[in-house]
Homo-oligomer: A and B are copies of this chain.
Amino acid sequence: MKTEKIYFGAAYYDEYMPVSRVEEDMRLMKEAGMNVIRVAESTWSTWEPRDGEFDFSSLHRMLRGAKKYGIDVIVGTPTYAIPPWLARKYPDILADTHAGPSKYGHRQNMDITHPGYRFHCERIIRALLEQVQEYDNVIGFQLDNETKPYDTCGPRAQALFKKWLMDKFGSVENLNQAFGLAYWSNCLGCWDDLPDVRGTINNSLAAEFEAFQRNLVTEFLLWQRAIVDEYRRPEQFVTHNFDYEWRDYSHALQPDADQFQAAEAVTVAGCDIYHPTAAYLTGAEISFGGDLARGLKHGQNFFVLETQAQGPVGRLPWPGQLRLQAFAHLANGANMVEYWHWHSIHNAIESHWKGVLSHDFTPGAVYQEVKTIGADFARIGSHLVNLKRHSEVAFVVSNRSLTGLKHSYAFAGPNYGDILRWLYDAFFRLNISVDIVDDSVRDFSAYKLVVTPGLYCTEDSLLEALREYVKKGGHLLSSFRSFFCDENVKIRTSCQPGGLTDVFGMTYDNFTVPVEVPGAREWMELLRPENAQTLRHYAHPAYQDYACVTHHRFGKGSAAYIGTMLEDRELERLLTELLPKMGIGVPEYRWPLIIKEGTNGQQKKVRYVLNYSAKENQYRAPENCRELLTDRKVRRGETLDIAPWGLAVLE
């Protein structure tokens, strides 16, 4: 979504405060150049302390305080954490999961299919939205927060799942055949035979249940959107805080929602991006999360609704890093950077996940650095907002593949997120811009190269689309495990790579785990080139007859295949050699110097030069331009010193 300015701010919770500070906080924010807060999304029990009894005094305090200081507000619906009285009212409202029934206390533990939950959600949303009608500084709404199915699989969910299967397969015979339920005597004789899915050893059934669960997220957000639409003004946006696979930080594709599908519920994509910092800040998570968020609405600008200020213990940024991070978000196409959160919380599970201010509310070192960012955004934001990115490469991501790989029986082998990030990060380090699309896409003609990391489960129509794409001149780069199964996680009976042996000019039917095979990691497919060129061999006598990487001209394009998880440096070398043959130039600079380019709202080219390093690095300007932060002209060929954890923005 295009916006008039860069939004810069933080989540704000007056209701968490042991003391009343709205006035003081808004003043400090204003001083730091902040212009937006997000409120209300977590605290239903404050807005409705008892069933049907509402108290929005704290909300009004925040909205009025913000208005006074010219700060805009995003209002979140508070439905992702239910109040105690609601849990008490419906003993079955908490999700029954693979790990058994959820307990009250945590957020995100309810059954989002529960009619009582839906009734009370709707009532609190309507009550809340009525309250905020009067405020012109409310610029938009956030639906719920990081919505998931919370692994709901109690009787209600299983009944819905049975219906889902009946609709999809029609008869148990079709289901038995599609999922191979004959194995270990799991064939259904009738629909009532469908067992509790939690015990299944059939990966197709398990994966289908997760697809069903993910669909609940889309359905739930669309339902909230419809309610919000009754209240919002046309200029108010609707967003959602999409978060990613969590490994103590935002790592890869979210397993529990089909975000590309769910994004239909919003007018602008929002996301969480949390990442390692201090010695471990690489920029890869910021880049990945941004590319993915930008992809959700097909290249439109997005919001970073949450990112870290001080963050959890051990994530305190080093001097300069906070600035670097903020600009890096813009470089990916973000129009908003919001910290989670303003002040640090004095109680409960996230009290050590610290905000811009520490618990003592003094404007400390982090606040001071935030202030410089705010000042810069205010000064040069009009050159940065609405950045349009251009990529020649598309990464295809797939929740079906993620789930399919998860449930594949293997003593070894990397999971989906590992494979995705292994390939993505190499492109990142090589400064090759990529878009991220999902596996529903059939028209890849906008891209020179399509990359499929671990695209394990595919519909036939996607195989066909890729064949046509290559035939017409496109290039395809696929990793091991791609195309192995159909969309039901049934392994294909055709020769591997599933149905595309002509395209790759190669086939294989054996795979194993590398042991003392130099450069190979985790998994290796023993490729047998037919017409393909072998780019790499496995350096081990037992595997001397096989290829490790192949490349094949097919139609007007070409297709390459990587049979193992090459060591990172080796993968970079391979790409540097291979990509030019696929029409993709490999830039001169490499990580830790990261270059991101785009076109700004004034149709000028903007280039970010980000130094992810504790050492100064040099960058030679490729053309005459202006460095925006220092507001000075730079001549073509001039060398810029990029400070440790520093950056330049060239227009």
Instruction: Enumerate chain A interface residues (CB-CB to B < 8 A).
Output: 13, 15-16, 18-19, 42-46, 49-51, 53, 78, 81-85, 87-88, 102-107, 109, 177, 179-190, 192-196, 198-204, 248, 278-280, 310, 312-316, 318-319, 344-353, 358-362, 364-366, 408-413, 489-496, 509-513, 515-516, 541-542, 614
Contact = CB atoms under 8 A, between A and B. Distances in A.
A115 B78 CA distance: 43
Contact of A353 (B43, B78, B409, B492): B409
Contact of A359 (B42, B353, B364, B493): B493
Contacts of A361: 493
B511 A348 contact: no
B491 A106 contact: no
A447 B363 CA distance: 39
Given A83-B189, A199-B103, A542-B278, A513 B313 contact: yes
A490 B18 contact: yes
Contact of A84 (B186, B198, B280, B614): B186
A106 B315 CA distance: 43
B510 A105 contact: no
7 nearest A-B residue pairs (beta carbon): A103-B199, A180-B347, A105-B199, A314-B513, A358-B509, A50-B189, A316-B512
Contacts of A104: 195-196, 199
A42 B359 CA distance: 50
Given A180-B347, A349-B409, 9 more contacts: A83-B186, A87-B195, A88-B193, A105-B195, A183-B350, A201-B348, A310-B510, A344-B491, A346-B492
A203 B351 contact: yes
A278 B543 CA distance: 11
Contacts of A43: 182-185
Nearest to A523: B313
Contact of A179 (B204, B315, B347): B347
A180 B346 contact: yes
Given A88-B192, A182-B16, A195-B88, A203 B542 contact: no
A408 B313 CA distance: 11
Contact of A189 (B49, B102, B177, B186): B49
A51 B347 CA distance: 49
Nearest to A484: B359
Contact of A198 (B103, B199, B202): B103
16 contacts: A16-B183, A46-B187, A49-B187, A83-B187, A104-B196, A183-B348, A203-B351, A279-B515, A319-B542, A346-B492, A347-B491, A353-B409, A358-B510, A359-B496, A360-B496, A364-B510
Contacts of A346: 180, 490-493
Contacts of A190: 50, 85
A301 B62 CA distance: 61
A315 B313 CA distance: 38
A204 B347 CA distance: 7
A228 B230 CA distance: 72
A345 B15 CA distance: 57
Contacts of A42: 183-185
Given A18-B180, A360-B495, A348 B202 contact: yes
A310 B410 CA distance: 13
Contacts of A351: 203, 408-409, 491
Contacts of A181: 45, 347
A454 to B, nearest CB: 15
Contacts of A352: 408-410
B509 A349 contact: no
A199 B345 CA distance: 20
A85 B193 contact: yes
A198 B490 CA distance: 40
Contacts of A102: 199
A316 B511 contact: yes
Contacts of A364: 509-510
Contacts of A510: 310, 316, 358, 364-366
A315 B84 contact: no
A351 to B, nearest CB: 6
A493 B19 contact: yes
A277 to B, nearest CB: 9
Contacts of A490: 18, 346-347
A204 B313 contact: no
Given A18-B177, A198-B103, A201-B106, A410 B347 contact: no
A409 B350 contact: yes
A463 B490 CA distance: 57
Contact of A188 (B84, B187, B515): B84
A180 B16 contact: yes
Contacts of A310: 510
Contact of A187 (B84, B195, B279, B411): B84
A471 to B, nearest CB: 23
Nearest to A199: B103
Given A43-B182, A278-B512, A509-B360, A412 B193 contact: no
B15 A279 contact: no
Nearest to A359: B491
A95 B524 CA distance: 39
Contacts of A614: 541
A550 to B, nearest CB: 18
